[in-house]
Amino acid sequence: MDIKEANDLLTEINDIFEYQITHRGLLESKIFPVTAYICLSFYNSYDMLYDILKKISEKTTPEEMGKKSRKILSELQTLTINYIPLYYLEGRMGEIFRQGSDAKSESEEKRKETLFILDFWKRLASSYYQNGKLFAADINELNEHGGAANNVLNQTDIDWSLEHIKPVSKDDVTKVRKTMANLEVFSFLDECEARAKLCDHGPYRINNEEVLVYREISHLYDGSLPHFPWSETEAKAPYSNIAFAFRLKNVKAVVDNFATMTTEPISWGDNITGAALYTRDGDEVKPIDFDLLDPFFEYATKAQRELYVKFTKWDKKQRLIAGAYAYCYGYARFTNFVGITNEINWDLTERTMEKYVPEFLEKDFDQGITRHFRSKAKKRKEGPSLYLLPED
């Protein structure tokens, strides 16, 4: 990838993420310093991501990763694929901002790493989306609707899934949605108040009135290897992952580039005409019975209580480091693909610990982030928030 192609790509990435960031704003939590640890993770990603992707590229290609990830409960999906450019480029922006907004301050070595990362991500994303796009939605779709169709499954998988959709009663709907909501709340807490365990995709058109949508929840603790050191609880899930599939009637659903679904009407419980549950074991996806809803609900309730007690005993520094660790451990979804996760040191880098942990213990956000909130006139004059690579 040459400089011109990279800068065109940087401009596109900038527009997509800037919309998402400015419409979400600062993130708050009663337990974790969320905005601070997100900013911390950006700098850590800028330090560590190149080495991770380089090791992955020695085992497989981005194209293979993308094509093989078009499936139910894939670790690599719309949200996780965006981890690559989002975290790294935000960290890069912060570093350059600290050098007087001079893009030439980035070393030649780091520029080469940036080119490698952009190329890897572009090849991965364009192989994952079947239309060759890089995002679930482009900026025009986002401005108009807040999202677009996140259609990634092959038709054979959609047809297979529909075969297992069951008609549901009002009591069934209540139970399914209650369990799903409880798992979501727990999942946010385990990820230090982030939504990394969650993925929505669809809508897949069934007929003129109905669509199929999925909500997937991964990396639950089932008694085997915990996702994070703190994820091991007395409570155990029946399975480490679960997908909820819903057949919806007369619902307009859109999914944004962070794999979050919004709908009209907002509350769609009465519009569910069928549902199914699935889990993945290795390469096999299998349907599971509604009888497992109670054990999943009980797990989420008890595990959430256990985690809350753990976290309330931590000081601010522990919570800050854990949040940044959790964000950057998102890259383990890529190393899992080639089986090298145990070969990576996932601790925050020495530079992050020495330079940025003390800083973000004292403040909630990074000044570089303010570039996203400049006026339109200033952005036209100064260029994209995610600095372009120097062409000379």
Q: What is the pLDDT of residues 45-68, one digit of tens each?
A: 999 999 999 999 999 999 999 999
Lowest mean per-residue pLDDT among 14-23, 58-67, 161-170, 258-267: 14-23
pLDDT category at 30 given cuts 50, 70, 90 is: confident
User: Would you report the helix, strand and coil content of the chain in percent, each value rounded to 5?
Assistant: 55, 15, 30
Each residue of 246-291: pLDDT tens digit? 999 999 999 989 999 999 999 999 999 999 999 999 999 999 999 9
Run of H or E including 376: helix 376-382
pLDDT value of position 147: 66
Nearest Cα residue to 300 out of 204, 236, 241: 236
Nearest Cα residue to 116 out of 54, 169, 67: 54
pLDDT value of position 145: 60
pLDDT value of position 157: 95
> Please, is 116 exposed, middle or buried when counting C-beta atoms within 10 Å of its C-beta (0-12, 13-18, 19+)?
middle
Q: Residue 387 gets which letter from DSSP?
A: P
Note the pTM of the prediction, 2 decimals: 0.94
pLDDT value of position 84: 97
Identify the residue whose tokens are 């054979």: 156
Contacts (Cβ under 8 Å, ≥6 apart) of 373: 22
Identify the residue whose tokens are 């990763």: 65
Q: State yes or no: pLDDT of 167 exceeds 90.
A: yes
Average pLDDT on 61-76 reads 97
Write down the mean pLDDT value for the chain: 94
CA distance 245 to 120: 31
pLDDT value of position 26: 56
pLDDT value of position 20: 83
CA distance 149 to 205: 10
Each residue of 186-235: pLDDT tens digit? 999 999 999 999 999 999 999 999 999 999 999 999 999 999 999 999 99
Task: Kindly give the interhelix angle for 170-190 and 293-312, rounded to the nearest 10 degrees.
Answer: 30
pLDDT category at 149 given cuts 50, 70, 90 is: confident
Each residue of 298-324: pLDDT tens digit? 999 999 999 999 999 999 999 999 999
